[in-house]
A and B are shown apart, each in its own frame.
Chain A
Amino acid sequence: MAVVTRGHGEPLAQSPTGLESLDVRKLGMWAFLGSECVFFGALIASYFVYRPLILAGDPKPHEVLGINFTALLAFILLISSLTMVLALNAIQHDRRRAGAYWLLATAVLGTTFLGGQAYEFTKLAQEGVTLSSGIFGQCFLVLTGFHGTHVFLGVIWLLACFARAMRGGFNSGNYIGAEIAGLYWHFVDIVWVAIFTLIYLIP
């Protein structure tokens, strides 16, 4: 009946799960991002449910979507992931000022992306693609709009991190706040890679 009796050995200081090195807040962010995967997964899947209708409708996506321009936006967002990595690296090596400026650079690139998206939305609106214009407009705008909302929140978060970094709030012993902001930011970038590939590039 006895299950595990005392004397089977020392109590383990930590359970052997490999979780010891993971920060509490970082694990929370990973769990949240897992949830976000399903969020965007369901959104993209909904787009694909309507894809046959979208391709049969008018205007067709590849006629109105500026792929070259969006490729530039995607490039800007990917570069912002690089600057985020550089920011964290600088913070971890106690180069405070560099870390702060890389954070600012990341936020600026994110803002550039948002500006580009706003331009794209206005251009589409001029060509008659709006939320209520038909199946393509609603699917495309809701999907990319929610990604844009995530980028927007990320930019605000990065600016808050920048303000904190300028006050010396991060250092080599305390960088987890910037690291989880970075996790979120990389996730938002990866989602854009998926959206760009699936919505823009696949003919």
Chain B
Amino acid sequence: MAAQVAVPVPQQEASPLELRREWYGWQWLATVDHKKIGIMYIAASLAFFLIGGFEALLVRTQLISPLNTFLHPDLYNQVFTMHATTMIFLGVMPMSVGVGNYVVPLMIGAADMAYPRLNAFSFWLFFFGGIFLNLSFVMGGAPNTGWFAYAPLTERPFNPGTGPDFWLLGLQLLGIASIAGAVNFIVTILKMRAPGMTFMRLPLFTWVTLITSFLIIFAFPSITIALILLMFDRLAGTSFFLPSGGGDPLLWQHLFWFFGHPEVYIMILPAMGIVSEVLPVFSRKPIFGYSFIAYSSVAIGFLGFTVWAHHMFVTGLGEIANGAFATGSFLIGVPTGVKIFNWIGTLWGGSLRFRTPLLFACGFIANFIIGGISGITLASPPVDFQQTDTYYVVAHIHYVLFGGSIFGLFAGLYYWWPKMFGRFLNEGLGKAHFWLQMVGFNLTFFPMHWLGTEGMPRRIYTYFPNQGFELWNLVATLGSYLLGISILIFVVNAFLSARRPAEVVPDNPWEAATLEWSTTSPPPAHNFDAVPVVYSRYPLWEDRDPEGAHGATAPRTNVDAVSHPADDVAATGEGEQGAHQGGAAHAFHLPNPTIFPVILAFGLVLIAFALLFAPPVLKITFLVSGLVYGVVSVYGWVRQVSD
């Protein structure tokens, strides 16, 4: 480690790229700054979130009345499939990654992620992959098999269109992006912590990001294999999941859910971490049972790999298997319940400030309890036999993923917005957003419990007038319009905050305790003027200067700092090269902007198109150009790192 002493490389003045460096877009396209990448992740995931939300409104509009003809059944299939795929892979997951990207290096006192270029690559591959998936609507039909794409429905004899091809290739791209991002987070959190930042002083959001990253690297290969086998089935004539050729469709379900169940924890754990950050700040007391929350998250992560077959109770695995997987699923209720009590215990006796982030965090707890309870009921095989593939399941997943993840993520956005942009979101609009979203959410999804128990199947494009489904479908649809309005309020709020004249946001406007609040809002490119030294779990509270108690800022000098030791600095990059900026006392390693991660991600998308297209000329053209982009960018990347 000590061997990699940074070699100062001055900015190349005569670079042919110099002109373009002046261009505003270049700063984003070529950036390797975790803060800019985080913001791009959040912006892109919000855009996809709006698309996915629009698709949800289409679905709800179709279901507003019996025998409605608003959407053609086939289009309905495409829309609900893309709604789920978009929300899961392009909305919730990347938004968590984006918040983590922005916040985690700041929380642990690092200058950047461990691999800044790989970080840029992850973002661009996710972004291009998302566009690739959505292009399917205008290129021969979107995926139409539901988000878990059960075989053999996805096989060519039953689904000759390009929808499943788009789905499997798009998810493959997103999977590569996720694994690369997760490796990056693991190394960042394990290696880049500031001096004194022990595991038991790690902010809880950082804890869950670490656990989520481990879930990603161990869960995603399973769907990668499933997608590869499906790809060979569809493109090369094998029959892995095609019963007529000896294939086993059940294998798809096993491979998919071995990924799919950890995936739901990949989506909920970051939101739990955000709530664990927001609650202490707005209750003005430390989190109740820090280590219980940390270890409960670990327990959830472990148990999450042992319960996948509870999605498959009705496939006839047998009583023993069903019993074992049901037991595991019930067990997960324990660490989850522990956390809920911890959060309530944090609020209890606190000096509460009901600002928007706390409202969303409380909304998270309330909704998540309902989602958790319906989850416990579904973990019981006899109940599941009755409820599976009904709207009860739809209600459950939305209570955990919307009522849970999305509420938690909005808490995080309102909380870290002033840090990210140096501007507050409007508090009045924020409260309107929260209450409308809370009411709209429960109006939309609570009636689905009743629809489900009354037997309304999910993924059905219409129903008959006399089945008793009319009233609650109407209520749910009206609720979804409220939800749409509430999200629009957030969008307006975001635009207004950008248009308002710049305000001076103090370093620590919420009087929070973690390191990201010890630097300016927004932070400088190098994050901290000097490496912070951590003495406690709440650096900005425990070490608070008594003189400045009620000032909104904890002066940065309250965090002890050491000058950057050169070997630690060098460890920030994949290589030793980089521009050194900063004052005479410190040298900060900030890698140069580079375009190669974008080009590599683009090349991979071209290769995905090559696999998609049937005409040989197109196939070869895209394959060759994709390979050229790939080879050139890898070569350039490696040269940048190793020279």
Contacts and interface: CB of A to CB of B under 8 A. Distances in A.
Contact of A27 (B190, B229, B237, B543): B190
Contact of B221 (A6, A11, A35, A57): A35
Contact of B537 (A3, A11, A36, A135): A3
Contacts of A13: 195-196
Contacts of A27: 186-187, 190-191
Contacts of B198: 12, 15-16
Nearest to A2: B542
Interface in A29-59: 31-32, 34-36, 38-39, 41-43, 46, 49-50, 53, 57
Contacts of B225: 39, 42-43, 46
A14 B200 CA distance: 13
A173 B642 contact: no
A36 B195 contact: no
B34 to A, nearest CB: 15
A21 interface: yes
Given A38-B221, A46-B255, A142-B229, A3 B536 contact: yes
Contacts of B245: 134-135
A68 interface: no
B195 A34 contact: no
B201 A39 contact: no
Contacts of B190: 17, 19, 27
Nearest to B237: A132
A164 interface: yes
* Max chain B C-beta neighbours (<10 A), residue from A11, A131, A174: A11
Contacts of B232: 131, 138, 142
B535 A6 contact: yes
B68 interface: no
A66 interface: no
Contacts of B115: 24, 28
A63 interface: no
A22 interface: yes
Interface residues of A, number: 53
B470 interface: no
A169 interface: yes
A84 to B, nearest CB: 19
B222 A31 contact: no
Contact of A134 (B1, B246, B571, B574): B246
Contacts of B57: none
A23 B142 CA distance: 44
B114 interface: yes
Contacts of A38: 217-219, 221-222
B183 A5 contact: no
B193 A15 contact: yes
Contacts of A3: 286, 290, 536-538, 542
A159 interface: no
Nearest to B225: A42
A146 B221 CA distance: 13
Contacts of A4: 200-201, 535-537, 542
Nearest to A3: B537
A93 interface: no
B187 A28 contact: yes
B239 interface: yes
A8 to B, nearest CB: 8
A34 B246 CA distance: 32
Contact of A46 (B251, B286, B560): B251
Contacts of A169: 642
A127 interface: no
Interface of A: 1-6, 8, 11-17, 19-25, 27-28, 31-32, 34-36, 38-39, 41-43, 46, 49-50, 53, 57, 131-132, 134-135, 138-139, 142, 146, 160, 164, 169, 173-174, 176-177
Given A16-B198, A42-B255, 5 more contacts: A3-B537, A13-B195, A36-B221, A41-B221, A42-B226
Interface of B: 1, 3-4, 114-115, 179, 182-184, 186-187, 190-193, 195-201, 217-222, 224-226, 228-229, 232, 236-240, 245-248, 251, 255, 258, 285-286, 290, 533-538, 542-543, 560, 571, 574, 638, 642
17 contacts: A1-B286, A3-B286, A3-B542, A4-B201, A4-B536, A4-B542, A6-B536, A11-B533, A13-B196, A21-B1, A27-B187, A32-B179, A38-B219, A42-B225, A49-B248, A135-B245, A142-B232
